[in-house]
Amino acid sequence: MNRRTEEITLPYDVFRGILAPEGTRPEGLVPVLVPEGMANVVDESVVSRWRVAQSGEIAARLNGYLPVLSNPRRVSRVSIVMESGGFYSFLAVRGDSDPEKPVLVCYYREMEREVMIARFSTLYHLAVDLAGYITPGPPLSGSNLGLSMQLPPFLILCAMADLIRRRFYASLLDHTTITLPIIREDILNVIGDARKSRDLRWLLPHLFSLLPDDPAEYLKGDLTNEFSWLVGHNYLGAGRNEEEYLCSDSCMDFLKLLNAGTSRLGIMNLHQGDDMGIMMESACFIRVPRAIIAINIGNGKEGITAVLSTLNFEQLLEFTTEFLSGTDIPEGMAPAQPESRGPSSPADEVQKITCPHCKAPLPLSAKFCRKCGSPVTREAS
């Protein structure tokens, strides 16, 4: 079974015209998908000419997509930062809550001003592609670390991680030493830059892109209370004056770990709430050497949980699928930790199954195929 069974590309004006009546400002998917400031005037003739120019097969395929695109039940904005340093964002659109139903992926190509629409057979097939970007290596033993704190001080730690990375890059250019004291003004400058930046390669702009509200609503003022919280909880220590702070050893280890990430996956789910308002929930997964940091940003602003876990592929895939599908996630976003990996017994070696679709060998406990992403049913296996 192919992960992407269909794929078409539309000029952006055609995509916008299909989803918005003539002369109106496009609502729904269009403002979420494309950058701000693009023209919102819809020319119906552009859509008509495009339809005439296409083959019947392409038009029929697009018509099959329209009910989902026009009235999506759930939309997820997914942003991927790759190991090579590149990044891109797309929308995963679903018309049904059933994870066995197809998912449409809409990706805006800025240079070509085109929208690519790919169809994944099921949510599992999309999830296995996403999990593949951040699959960890062999799990570390005795390295699980749980952090739970309010959102503002955690974002300050992310700003500090970006600041340390900036200083590291600067040291490579002008051969200066990396200074460890944290100056409040430097942090405020990093936060100000992150609000204006669309460069998801930096951690704070990426998290800002996943927040439920405008980034300008977060980290206002001189952040005295937030810095006091970090000092009171032993993340920071007093420096030579009130504008300078020193990192504790454990805090510095955590900041270095954040900066060690080689790839990153951000997911923001948007769906209609009971009051017909748009509800948002976000998660960010950062791949670091042989481990994964999972960050959950809930609907409220009162809390954020960052968990460093030694997840294996199946746990990561299962969690990604559940988050995209809207399944309730346990409080604290704590996926089940992998059991200790002692020597396997002969019985473990014998109890294997095969994927009913691609015939890849799988462990008995597998819920999804780690090769093709198909769900594994006990009857089929």
pLDDT tens for 25-38 read 555 687 778 766 56
The residue among 189, 161, 181 whose CA lies nearest residue 237 is: 181
For the cut 60, the answer to whether the pLDDT of residue 186 exceeds it is yes
Question: What does the pLDDT average to over 114-122?
Answer: 91
Identify the top-confidence range among 43-47, 101-105, 173-177, 322-326.
101-105
Kindly report, residue by residue over 44-84, the tens digit of the pLDDT: 777 788 888 888 888 888 888 988 988 888 889 999 998 88
Looking at the DSSP assignment, which residues form a beta bridge with residue 76? 92, 269
Kindly report, residue by residue over 287-299, the tens digit of the pLDDT: 877 677 878 776 5
For the cut 50, the answer to whether the pLDDT of residue 348 exceeds it is no
* Residue 281 Cα distances to 86, 246, 284, 288, 351, angstroms: 25, 33, 11, 23, 38
Structural domain spans, the chain:
4-131, 145-325, 344-381
As a whole number of angstroms, the distance between CA 89 and CA 101 comes to 22
Question: What does the pLDDT average to over 361-366?
Answer: 72
H or E, element range at 8: strand 4-11
**pLDDT band for position 323 (50/70/90)?**
confident
Residues sharing a CB contact under 8 Å with residue 378, sequence separation 6 or more, in sequence order? none
As a whole number of angstroms, the distance between CA 245 and CA 189 comes to 16
Ordered strands of the 87-94 beta sheet? 4-11, 114-120, 103-109, 87-94, 74-81, 263-272, 278-288, 291-297, 304-309, 145-149
**φ, ψ (nearest 5 deg) of residue 128:** -70, -30
DSSP-derived letter for residue 368 is B
